[in-house]
Structure 1
Amino acid sequence: MNVSTIKISLVMLLIAGCSPDPKQNNIDINALSERNTVEETALENERQAKMELFEKNLQSVVENQVFDNEKALLEDVDNLQSKTKTQLLKAQKLERLLAEEALLESAKSRADDLVSQ
């Protein structure tokens, strides 16, 4: 055997020794496939949990906005009732003053009539 044949034989033995066993390769692919499936399931569960949390937060924000809007409307109603009550009291006071003024005018007119007779 010459040196080049020995070198080629050694290289072939090294290549054959480094090559993975096809059965081991299939097991690794199956294990990787199962691992990938588990990871995808975990990612999907995490995504679902994040979506549920987002939906709960969004619902909470909407409920808070509804509460704030209802509170503002109730405050507006209270303010309108207060203004209406104030205006009603002013109108009643003005009505009393006008009635008193009419009575005074009537009394003055009678007094003038009595004096002129």
Structure 2
Amino acid sequence: MFRRTFWFTAGAAAGVWATSKVNRKLKQLTPESLAAQAANKALETGHRLKDFALDVRAGMLQREAELGEALGLDAPADPAAAQGRELPEPRRRTALGPTPPSHFTLPTRSYNRNEDH
């Protein structure tokens, strides 16, 4: 008698446990739950990408500073050397831009879509 009662109780407990596991898994697979999980993953990925971009930017700035220091680019410029240099004369522009050379002119031909038919 006790044996039957034990196995009946063990079977009922296993059934309740399996039912609760299945119901929990079914709730995880509802469209709302899947959408929430996808949104959380997207936010997490966005934060990781932002952190990566910030790390790359910091490393880039640090390396630029190291290179500038090694090449002496951070030293103050000599204003006397810049005074002797001449700047090129600015190009003249028309209202439509610079005048193209003659070999760049396009032929004037009307393109009527209805001529071909």
**Structure with larger Rg:** 1
Higher relative helix content: 1
1 or 2 for the larger relative contact order (CA 8 Å, sep ≥6)?
Answer: 2
TM-score calculated relative to the size of structure 1: 0.43
